[in-house]
Structure 1
């Protein structure tokens, strides 16, 4: 609903559910940063917002963890992944992201709204580790089968 019906009021609800799960699991490592997966320009134009960034913004407040919106950037635009299989998705997102030096030595909690095959978060995590992140935890609001 957040993504398809543009119901921004869902972001804090999803963030609260994530925050509760994180607390139950012992929390994030000391000094962690939250970084949303960047949306494509086409998605931003169509929706007017990045669902992952909206969830991350609320989650940062609820966990009192710094939000690093600029930690990741898209290096190019890609076609929509809807309808693509696992291999095709992996090819499309290979090398898609770059990370800034702000992540060096920090644990990064990578926030996305929906994970299907994991290809996007894998590409983002790879970029974070390449930029020197000490570790990456992936936080997603929903997982599709």
Structure 2
């Protein structure tokens, strides 16, 4: 293991220490390693769009939006090679939450996720991509 020494201003150090405490890290090093891993993962996806990845696509949608449920299901079937699993939860009479696990080339996974999030009736969502390298 290598030791790195960095210098940061006092305000940034205080904010970082607050993050370390809030997330329950034992020390700054553990938090720093996680931040670096996260940035390196993003760099892999940017540098190699075809990199194999897994992802979670989570979104809220209006259950009563005409044909949305059918369109979402059709999209998953059309991309069965990317869709691993999906979980659906009823949050209220109108609002549903869906989380879909995806696996495949990062560019294809991200394109599929964007197409789902762009559907009329999807209120908000997020895709979290993790390269498998």
Structure 1 length-normalised TM:
0.30
Determine which structure has more spread, i.e. the larger CA radius of gyration.
2
The structure with the largest strand share of the pair is 2
TM-score, normalization by structure 2: 0.32
